[in-house]
Amino acid sequence: MHNNKPSLYTSFSPALIDLYDLSNAIVVIIDVLRATSTIATALHNGAKSVIPVDSVGRCIEIARQVDGISAGERDGKIAEGLSYGNSPFEYPAEFIGGKTLVLTTTNGTKLLHMALNRGALHIVTGSFPNLSAVCDYLLVENKPVILGCAAWKDRVNIEDMLFAGAVVNRVKDHFSINCDSSQVAETMYLSASADLFAFMKAKNASHYHRLNNYGLEKDIRYCLTADLAPVVPLYTNGQLVKG
């Protein structure tokens, strides 16, 4: 029976993703602070789609082509030439409903394109705001899963690992998990789950530190809260849409 379960692996960095066979697998792109949290939020609030791009130049170009909202930050401020930032709070239903969001996200977009080029069966994005939705989706699909942490310039980060661990903790009985990274992620999540924000702060997580210095504690707290945006962003034809 055990052997009939699909496999599940966790990759802590884009630099490790080539260790795993992505073909026939569902790849979950995880970029908790803040790209994939904002993507789930925008789609939950009625955005028609979210187009992830890897540079400001490309963001401006695509937003013009699709008549979309250009968004992205550099050093905690809206990037020059773009109209909005990376905060989920910028995308309430009354603003984003029916619109296309073109979002600049370096680490997440890089990993997404790697997954695409390596023949992933499906690509979805995951974050605490859509934790349960992603877990339910993985259980229904019943395919091999790769939890792909977007990390920070290939360096492992705590928050993406915590989300991967939350998923492992929820779905592990339904997958065959022979992967130390998944065990590590779950152990970290269980250490942190009583208060994810306090844990990030206590560990002086590099990204917590960076965003908190920009005055974004509210964003961090939101991005660590489960199920506020229960959608499955599914990558289809270059766009993320509600799956």
Would you tell me which residues interact with its own copies (CB under 8 A)? 12-13, 15-16, 19, 153-158, 161, 178-181, 183-184, 187-188, 191, 203-207, 209
In the complex with its own copies, the residue whose CB is nearer, 187 or 225, is 187
- Please say whether the beta carbons of 141 and 175 come within 8 A: no
Min separation Cβ 63 and its own copies, Å: 32
In the complex with its own copies, the residue whose CB is nearer, 131 or 168, is 168
Residue spans of alpha helices (H) in the chain: 35-44, 56-66, 93-96, 106-117, 131-141, 158-171, 180-192, 196-202, 206-213, 217-223
Min separation Cβ 10 and its own copies, Å: 9
- Please say whether the beta carbons of 200 and 158 come within 8 A: yes
In DSSP terms, which residues pair with 204 in a beta bridge?
none
In the complex with its own copies, the residue whose CB is nearer, 74 or 209, is 209
Min separation Cβ 132 and its own copies, Å: 25
Total residues belonging to the chain: 243
Query: How far apart are alpha carbons 213 and 153 in whole angstroms?
Result: 19
In the complex with its own copies, the residue whose CB is nearer, 209 or 218, is 209
Min separation Cβ 123 and its own copies, Å: 22
